[in-house]
Structures are given as C-alpha cells and as structure tokens.
Amino acid sequence: AQTVTQSQPEMSVQEAETVTLSCTYDTSESDYYLFWYKQPPSRQMILVIRQEAYKQQNATENRFSVNFQKAAKSFSLKISDSQLGDAAMYFCAYRTTYNNNDMRFGAGTRLTVKP
C-alpha cells in the first residue's frame, strides 16, 4: 500500500519569509496525483495545490509552489512571502490513477507564522 510521510511535525516561519514543507511517498506506480491541503483552525480542509505525476513542470498557485522530484518520490511545498493567514496544518496526499477513491494522507505539518 502507498504511504505518505511528512517528516516535519512542526515548522515555523517569519512573516514575509519563505518556508518549505517536506513530503515523501512510497509507490510502485508511475502515474498518480499529489495534493497539498491546508487545515486552518476552522478545521476545514482546503486544497492548496495539486500535481499530476506525468507532468514534469512543477505546479504553482500564486505564493505556493511545489518541487516534484519523481525519481526521489518527493513532493515538497514552498510558501513564499508567508502571511499570518498561512498558519495551519498542512497535509500532503497521494492518489493512484487506478482507484480514484483511494487517497492517502500524511500525518501533517503544523506551520506557525511569526509576526
């Protein structure tokens, strides 16, 4: 079974600085999807960014970008110009193309933003 590992339980960043959250996954498949979700104190999960494994280009959404290293099975999230509203739990998730209903989540990284 596929597993997703987030090795940083907690991270902190100064407001306006850049932070990178790590995510690795284990799979034997060549085609899959990767996601980053944000869970603020309201506890609703919000999609931050997604990446298709067949695309070499790293996905970008405004201040959020990923570094997708397929061979290394790594999918890190970079947050630029960090804002106070970025403080949240961040979850990395993997989904196979063979079963759209099987999404695997990492344990999460709690990000603190210091003013």
Partner 1 sequence: DGGITQSPKYLFRKEGQNVTLSCEQNLNHDAMYWYRQDPGQGLRLIYYSQIVNDFQKGDIAEGYSVSREKKESFPLTVTSAQKNPTAFYLCASRPQGDNSPLHFGNGTRLTVT
Residues that bind partner 1 (CB under 8 A): 4, 9, 33, 35, 42-47, 50, 52, 91, 93, 97, 100-108
* Residue 99 C-beta: closest distance to partner 1, Å: 10
Task: Pick between residue 87 and residue 94 the one whose CB is nearest to partner 1.
Answer: 94
* Residue 19 C-beta: closest distance to partner 1, Å: 20
Q: How far apart are CA 10 and CA 50, in angstroms?
A: 22
With CA atoms as reference, report the closest residue to 11 among 104, 95, 86.
86
* Residue 5 C-beta: closest distance to partner 1, Å: 10
Task: Pick between residue 32 and residue 82 the one whose CB is nearest to partner 1.
Answer: 32
* Residue 81 C-beta: closest distance to partner 1, Å: 24
Task: Pick between residue 97 and residue 112 the one whose CB is nearest to partner 1.
Answer: 97
Q: How far apart are CA 87 and CA 39, in angstroms?
A: 9
